[in-house]
Amino acid sequence: MSTYDITIIGSGPGGYVAAIRCAQLGMKTALIEKYNTLGGTCLNVGCIPSKALLDSSEHFHNATHNFDQHGIDVTGVKANIEQMVKRKNDVVSQTCAGVKFLMDKNDIDVHHGLGSFVDKNTIKVVAEDKSETTISTKNVIIATGSKPNFFPGMEPDKKRIITSTEALNMREIPKKLLVIGGGVIGLELGSVFGRLGTKVEVVEFANRIVPTMDGTMSKELAKVLKKEGFKFHLQHKVQSVTNTGKGVKLTALNKKDEEVVLEADYCLVAVGRKPFTAGLELENAGIKTNERGQIEVNQNLQTNTPNIYAIGDVVRGAMLAHKAEEEGVFVAEQIAGQKPHIDYNLIPGVVYTWPEVASVGKTEEELKAAGKEIKIGQFPIKALGRARASMDILGTIKVIADSVTDELLGVHMIAPRAADLIMEAVVAMEYRASAEDIARICHPHPTYSEGVKEAALAATEDRALHI
Ligand code: FAD
Ligand code: NAD
Q: Is the dihedral of CA 151, 156, 162, 163 positive or negative?
A: positive
Identified catalytic residue from 236, 322, 341, 445: 445
Q: Is pLDDT above 90 for 461?
A: no
Residue minimizing CA distance to atom 9 of ligand 1: 40
Is 150 near ligand 2, meaning CB less than 6 Å away? no
pLDDT band at 10 (very low <50, low <70, confident <90, very high): very high
Q: Is position 443 annotated as part of the catalytic site?
A: no
Domains and CATH numbers, the chain: 2-148+274-342 (3.50.50.60), 161-271 (3.50.50.60), 347-459 (3.30.390.30)
Ligand 1 geometric centre to CA of 11 (Å): 8
Average pLDDT value for residue range 211-235: 98
How do beta strands 109-112 and 29-33 pair? parallel
pLDDT band at 1 (very low <50, low <70, confident <90, very high): confident
Predicted structure pTM score: 0.98
Percentage of residues in the chain with pLDDT exceeding 70?
Answer: 100
User: Is 99 in contact with 47 (CB distance < 8 Å)?
Assistant: no
Average pLDDT value for residue range 89-116: 98
> Which residues are CB-neighbours of 371 under 8 A, at least 6 positions away?
none
Mean pLDDT of the chain: 98
Average pLDDT value for residue range 298-322: 98
C-alpha 264/C-alpha 395 separation (Å) is: 30
What is the pLDDT, as a whole number, of residue 305? Answer: 98
Residue minimizing CA distance to atom 24 of ligand 2: 272
Average pLDDT value for residue range 412-423: 98
pLDDT digits (tens, 9 = 90+) for 242-279: 999 999 999 999 999 999 999 999 999 999 999 999 99
Average pLDDT value for residue range 210-236: 98
Q: Is pLDDT above 90 for 160?
A: yes
> Which residues are CB-neighbours of 63 under 8 A, at least 6 positions away?
74, 77
Helix and strand tally (H, E) in the chain?
13, 22
User: Is 255 in contact with 232 (CB distance < 8 Å)?
Assistant: no
pLDDT band at 307 (very low <50, low <70, confident <90, very high): very high
Closest-lying ligand 1 atom to the alpha carbon of residue 14: 51
Q: Is pLDDT above 90 for 205?
A: yes
Q: What is the amino acid identity at position 385?
A: G
Percentage of residues in the chain with pLDDT exceeding 90?
Answer: 99
